[in-house]
């Protein structure tokens, strides 16, 4: 078992400018999570002058790759899964530990335990373990040939091969962003597809009922057999273990040989159980400088967090702790964390990236800034819902909190400035293309948070890093 002495055990200073210089020159930095956030953090460390030992640990056998193309270009057959590698900004001179998962953390000894029995010591640790797809909750049914999830490169390759074989029907369980993009790819390939969503409409958990109804109309216009307010109660296989039928909560059945389970994501924090770190189902709590909290709510100075697994406060949104499953957030937070790991407190900077996301489905580009799920009301500020070309603005406590566009990207920069300046809601300026439906605000119609729908892009929690007011709901379809 490999054990290396941590920086402070060498007889070297452990505080002050001397220790910081030694850290930058000879320290050991370990990054758990070899995906987008981990790669960008490693590149930032090298760019900013870190010349010590750098180790990246990842449970997948592949070097970092881009995930957004998996549910788009890869499923459409326009790109292969093995051609999604992330571009390198510079040479890393790093030790890669791929295909081996982290299984534990000893904060006192500064060691990360690995599944192969090894231990890796660190002077600074960055956790960027992201999320994994929530599986079908019934194990024997999940093992049926034809039941898929979509999160990894290998997932996408397997699913693409089955779609290319022209299945008789595809069932998508869950109409969040990933589920909706999968349904879109199926229809573009000319495949019959049924979408089962327990919520009132697609995307309702992330964007609310007003846009959700527009998304439902969009799917049906493109030939999707969309079933809302419906749960899949069982998946049935034949004697050979192949999926053949799905049973729904309304008593109906669907004959299908492919079911894609799109029930949202679970943050990869299980390996931190008992470590003393402030980690749980909602992610790892950290301060604005990406330093992790321990279970007592005390900030650590040698453990940092970045990407989908992080839960950090944001000044623009009432210092609520946000977990953001966004590509741009992962990059920005990783760069901030890496900078802060090797700089003094006076040179550290906060992570205040504006939440933003995008999705392409059924021929429409959907983009957003801010946190729509915080919105109490929404107004159609430009365009028309019925035309599938509009800008919706969300309000929270009398201020603009978010904006979502369907094929109207040009407005996002303007509304980002409105969010940053806490502009009043509803917007008090006229719009030349606002239709009658956008003359007044209406309730945003987000579902009860204790009854989550599939695939939220933002999870909002309380102010305390040790907040445990969580309602656990069984993971049914």
Residue-wise pLDDT tens digits, 247-276: 999 999 999 999 999 999 999 999 999 999
> Which pLDDT does position 61 carry in this prediction?
96
pLDDT for 315 beyond 60: yes
CB 281 within 8 A of CB 191: no
Q: Is the pLDDT of residue 462 over 70?
A: no
Query: Which residue is it, tokens 């799905």?
Result: 246
Q: Bridge partners of 393? A: 379, 403
Angle among Cα 64, 70, 76 to the nearest 5 degrees reads 145
To which H or E segment does residue 225 belong? strand 225-228
pLDDT for 466 equals: 40
Q: Which helix (H) or strand (E) holds 45?
A: helix 36-47
Q: What average pLDDT does range 76-103 have in this prediction?
A: 94
**Sign of the CA dihedral with 282 first, then 287, 289, and 292 last:** negative
User: What's the average model confidence in pLDDT over 146-158?
Assistant: 97
**Which residues, 6 or more positions from 193, have their beta carbon under 8 angstroms from its beta carbon?**
169, 170, 171, 172, 183, 186, 187, 223, 224, 225
Query: What per-residue confidence (pLDDT) applies to 463?
Result: 43
2-23: pLDDT as tens digits: 444 455 544 444 456 789 999 9
Helix (H, G, I), strand (E, B) or coil at 347: helix
Closest CA to 399 of 384, 380, 418, 371: 418
Output the CA torsion 92→94→100→104 (10° steps). -110
Helical residues (DSSP H) of 347-464, grouped into ranges: 412-420
C-beta separation of 476 from 307 below 8 A = no
Give the Cβ contact number of residue 401 at 10 Å.
29
Residue 109 is predicted with a pLDDT of 97
Q: What is the mean pLDDT of residues 376-383?
A: 94
Question: Mean of the pLDDT values across residues 284-305?
Answer: 96
Phi, psi of 327, deg, nearest 5? -60, -50
Task: For residue range 118-133, list pLDDT tens digits in order.
Answer: 999 999 999 999 999 9
DSSP secondary structure letters along 136-193: PSSHHHHTSBTEE--SSHHHHHHHHHHHHT--S-EEEE--SHHHHHHHHHHHHTT--E
Q: Is 21 helix (H, G, I), strand (E, B) or coil?
A: helix
Q: 264 Cβ partners below 8 Å, 6+ apart?
A: 134, 174, 176, 452, 454, 455, 456
What's the burial of 442, exposed, middle or buried (CB within 10 Å: 0-12/13-18/19+)? middle
Instruction: Give the pLDDT score at 32.
Output: 98
What pLDDT is attached to residue 455? 54
Quote the CA–CA distance of 360 and 40 in Å, as a whole number: 25
Structure tokens at 193: 């597809």
**pLDDT above 70 as % of the chain:** 88
Instruction: Give yes or no for residue 441 having a pLDDT over 50.
Output: yes
Residues in the chain: 477
Task: Output the pLDDT for position 381.
Answer: 93
Looking at the chain, the whole-number percentage of residues with pLDDT higher than 90 is 82
Separation of alpha carbons 53 and 345, rounded Å = 22
**Separation CA 76–CA 79 (nearest Å):** 8
Tell me which H or E stretch contains 42: helix 36-47
More confident residue, 217 or 435: 217
Q: How would you list the strands of the sheet with 119-121, edge to edge?
A: 102-106, 111-114, 119-121
Checking if the pLDDT of 316 tops 90, the result is: no
**3-class secondary-structure state, position 253:** strand
Instruction: State the chain's mean pLDDT as an integer.
Output: 90
Note the pLDDT of residue 318. Answer: 82
Spatial distance between the Cα atoms of 311 and 292, rounded to a whole number of angstroms:
9
**What pLDDT, on a 0 to 100 scale, did the predictor assign at position 160?**
97
**What pLDDT, on a 0 to 100 scale, did the predictor assign at position 469?**
36
Q: How confident is the model at residue 89, as a pLDDT?
A: 87
- CA distances (Å), 284 to each of 34, 39, 134, 348, in order? 17, 19, 18, 20
């Amino acid at each position: 078992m490999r054990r290396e002495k941590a920086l402070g055990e060498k007889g070297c200073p452990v505080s002050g400018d001397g220790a910081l210089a030694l850290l930058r020159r000879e320290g050991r930095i370990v990054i758990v999570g070899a995906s987008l956030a981990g790669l960008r953090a490693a590149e930032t460390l090298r760019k900013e002058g870190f010349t010590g030992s750098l180790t990246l640990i990842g449970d997948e056998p592949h070097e970092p790759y881009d995930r957004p193309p998996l549910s788009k270009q890869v499923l459409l057959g326009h790109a292969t899964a093995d051609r999604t590698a992330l571009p390198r900004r510079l040479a890393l001179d790093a030790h890669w530990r791929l295909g081996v998962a982290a299984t534990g953390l000893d904060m006192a000894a500064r060691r990360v335990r690995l599944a192969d029995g090894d231990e890796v010591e660190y002077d600074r640790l960055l956790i960027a373990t992201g999320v994994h797809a929530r599986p079908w909750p019934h194990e024997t049914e999940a093992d049926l040939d034809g039941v898929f999830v979509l999160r990894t490169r290998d997932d996408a390759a397997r699913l693409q091969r089955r779609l290319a074989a022209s299945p008789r029907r595809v069932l998508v369980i869950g109409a969040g962003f990933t589920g909706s993009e999968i349904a879109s790819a199926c229809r573009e390939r000319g495949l019959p597809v049924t979408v089962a969503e327990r919520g009132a409409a697609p995307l309702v958990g992330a964007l609310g009922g007003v846009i959700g109804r527009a998304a439902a109309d969009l799917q049906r216009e493109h030939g999707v057999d969309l079933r809302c307010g419906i749960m899949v109660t069982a998946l049935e296989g034949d004697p050979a273990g192949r999926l053949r039928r799905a049973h729904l909560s309304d008593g109906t059945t669907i004959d299908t040989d492919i079911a894609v389970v799109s029930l949202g994501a679970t943050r990869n924090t299980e390996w931190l159980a008992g470590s003393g770190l402030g980690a749980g189902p909602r992610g790892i709590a950290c301060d604005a400088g990406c330093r992790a909290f321990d279970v007592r709510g005390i900030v650590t100075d040698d453990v940092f967090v970045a990407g989908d697994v992080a839960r950090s406060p944001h000044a623009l949104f009432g210092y609520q702790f946000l977990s953001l499953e966004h590509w741009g957030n992962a990059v920005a937070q990783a760069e901030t964390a890496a900078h802060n790991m090797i700089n003094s407190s006076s040179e550290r900077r906060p992570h205040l990236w504006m939440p933003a996301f995008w999705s392409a489905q059924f021929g429409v580009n959907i983009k957003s800034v801010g946190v729509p799920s915080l919105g109490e009301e929404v107004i159609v500020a430009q365009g028309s819902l019925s035309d599938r070309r509009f800008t919706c603005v969300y309000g929270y406590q009398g201020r603009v909190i978010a904006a979502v566009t369907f094929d109207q990207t040009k407005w996002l920069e303007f509304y980002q400035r409105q969010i940053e300046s806490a502009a009043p809601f509803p917007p008090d300026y006229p719009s030349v293309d606002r239709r009658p439906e956008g003359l007044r605000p209406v309730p945003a119609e987000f579902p009860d948070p204790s009854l989550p729908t599939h695939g939220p892009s933002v999870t909002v929690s309380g102010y305390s890093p040790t907040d445990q007011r969580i309602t656990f709901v069984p993971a049914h379809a």
